[in-house]
Amino acid sequence: MNRSRDTQRSAVYDAEELVRTMFDRADQRDLRTVEVLGSQVTLPIERKFASIESVQDYVDRVLALNWVQQKWERAHQPVRVRPRSGNSAAHYESDCATIAIPQHRNGSAWAFRELVVLHELAHHLDPDDPEYRSTASHGPEYVERYVELVGEIIGPEAALVLRATYLAGGVR
């Protein structure tokens, strides 16, 4: 069985980029309160990482959380974090359970952040067999996993902002 067509990939990426921008501006301006769907929400602090080793440590700790291991069988499979050449995207390699993160380049380390790492972990936790996936990479099942990880780890306010941004962008 082949994976379903990933029809909402660009909408997912657009929404997540907007959420990351909200967090960046909150950090830059030291103003953490935003309005979302008519409600005032205080954005929690998002963890940032200094090295591939610190990302690896974070990934290991998330996968070791009791609730993560109880919810997703694949949490028991270790994930390796490696540097990625280029600066355009992070990605998950299901065949070898590896997250590839772009290195610091020209003063930018956009991918060394919790929202990006949790995005890639949500791919790892997909319960489908990596060789015979039946769901789209960024389909509704993925979106639910990612929002749950964000809500439980970064905070419910972050999950609300993410969910509202997905909704506004037409993501299911």
Q: How many other CB atoms are there within 10 angstroms of residue 161's CB atom?
A: 24
pLDDT at 53: 97
145 vs 132, higher pLDDT: 145
Task: Provide CB contacts within 8 A for 33, sequence distance 6+.
Answer: 40, 41, 42, 43
Q: How many other CB atoms are there within 10 angstroms of residue 160's CB atom?
A: 18
19-168: CATH topology? Zincin-like (3.30.2010)
pLDDT band at 135 (very low <50, low <70, confident <90, very high): confident
16 vs 105, higher pLDDT: 16
C-alpha neighbours within 13 Å on the C-beta side of residue 56: 11
pLDDT band at 131 (very low <50, low <70, confident <90, very high): low
End-to-end, the C-alpha distance of the chain in Å comes to: 23
* Stated pTM of the model: 0.92
pLDDT score of 133 more than 70: no
pLDDT score of 87 more than 80: no
C-alpha neighbours within 13 Å on the C-beta side of residue 165: 23
Contact 115, 16 (CB under 8 A): yes
Q: For residue 21, give both structure tokens.
A: 């921008």
pLDDT at 164: 96
Q: Which residue has the tokens 């509704």?
A: 140
What pLDDT, in 10s, does the model give residues 23-75? Answer: 999 999 999 999 998 889 999 999 999 999 999 999 999 999 999 999 999 99
Angle subtended by helix axes 140-153 and 114-124, to nearest 10:
130
Percent pLDDT > 70 in the chain is 93
Per DSSP, 31 falls in state: -
Report the pLDDT averaged over residues 79-104. 91
pLDDT score of 3 more than 70: no
pLDDT at 1: 42
The angle subtended at Cα 126 by Cα 22 and Cα 57, nearest 5°, is 65
Q: For residue 90, give both structure tokens.
A: 């992070």
Report the pLDDT averaged over residues 94-119. 90
